């Protein structure tokens, strides 16, 4: 009897083991099938990654505004990361513009008056220190290091060479669209230059650098959406202009040789 009872228990346990194996096998197969189905399913076009890749950015930028402005301290100043420093730089530029443009102070006169004032104060302080029993002023030795000057000169040389390369490419007649864009930009700049002098123009550009990037960074989604609509409309108008005007302009011998 004990052997029969033990045999029945072993049968029951083996039966339960088989049932559990079947259940687990069915679950694992169903989960693997669902995983395979998910892998085989095409990604929905409304997924966040695809939406993010389709977002239009002004001038086709792919980096944040901080990186576009070069990063580092200049970008921090333009984007008002440190409000005290940015306000101080903008206030100094405003004071210089008011001094030279509104009060009509001259640069050479300002430099000479500044040197006169500084030398007079230091001279009087150095001579009066013996009478008032105080230490004379510490006048540091100023030396311009060679490495930063060479770095600035090298960077300036690269930018000038890049500008010359662009002008040469435009003058070669290979890209009519770029040529017309540069001509329109120079024409607008000449009109703005006739309205104000170089100092005022430089100050306006400086103020725009302190205002436009920070506002664009704050409302970039709205600005990019509006810019996308404007770009589509400009492309439509350019296509009409190209069909009616530019396509009728005879091409130079350079393009004929290339086609041949």
pLDDT for res 95? 92
Residues 164-220 pLDDT 10s: 998 888 888 778 888 888 888 889 888 888 887 888 888 988 999 889 888 888 888
Residues 225-247 pLDDT 10s: 888 888 888 888 888 887 877 77
- Tokens 């930028």 appear where? 61
Q: Is the pLDDT of residue 91 over 90?
A: yes
pLDDT for res 56? 63
Give percent of the chain with pLDDT exceeding 90.
13
Q: Is the pLDDT of residue 149 over 70?
A: yes
Provide the token pair at 117: 């004032």
Domain ranges in the chain are 145-195
Q: Is the pLDDT of residue 38 over 90?
A: no
Q: In degrees to the nearest 10, what's the CA dihedral of 118, 121, 124, 129?
A: -110
Residues 111-138 pLDDT 10s: 899 999 999 998 988 888 777 777 877 8
Q: Is the pLDDT of residue 2 over 60?
A: no
Q: Is the pLDDT of residue 57 over 90?
A: no
Q: What is the mean pLDDT of residues 69-93?
A: 86
């Amino acid at each position: 009897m004990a052997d029969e009872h033990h045999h029945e228990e072993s049968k029951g346990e083996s039966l339960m083991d088989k049932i559990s194996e079947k259940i687990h096998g069915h679950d694992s197969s169903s989960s693997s099938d669902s995983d395979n189905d998910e892998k085989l399913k095409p990604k929905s076009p409304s997924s966040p990654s695809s939406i993010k890749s389709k977002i239009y950015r002004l001038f086709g930028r792919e980096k944040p505004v901080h990186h576009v402005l070069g990063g580092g301290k200049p970008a921090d100043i333009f984007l008002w990361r440190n409000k005290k420093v940015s306000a101080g730089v903008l206030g100094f530029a405003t004071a210089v513009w008011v001094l030279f443009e509104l009060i009509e102070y001259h640069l050479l006169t300002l430099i000479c008056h500044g040197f006169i004032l500084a030398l007079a104060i230091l001279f009087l302080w150095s001579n009066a220190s013996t009478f008032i029993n105080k230490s004379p002023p510490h006048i540091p030795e100023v030396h311009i290091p060679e490495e930063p000057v060479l770095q600035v000169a090298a960077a300036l040389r690269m930018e000038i060479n890049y500008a010359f390369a662009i002008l040469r490419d435009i003058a070669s007649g290979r890209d009519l669209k770029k040529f017309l864009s540069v001509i329109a930009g120079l024409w607008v700049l000449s009109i703005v230059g006739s309205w104000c002098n170089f100092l005022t123009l430089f100050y306006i550009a400086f103020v725009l650098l302190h205002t436009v990037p920070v506002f664009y960074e704050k409302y970039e989604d709205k600005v990019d959406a509006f810019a996308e609509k404007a770009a589509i409309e400009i492309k439509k108008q350019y296509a009409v202009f190209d069909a009616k005007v530019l396509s009728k302009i005879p091409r130079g011998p350079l393009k004929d040789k290339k086609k041949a």
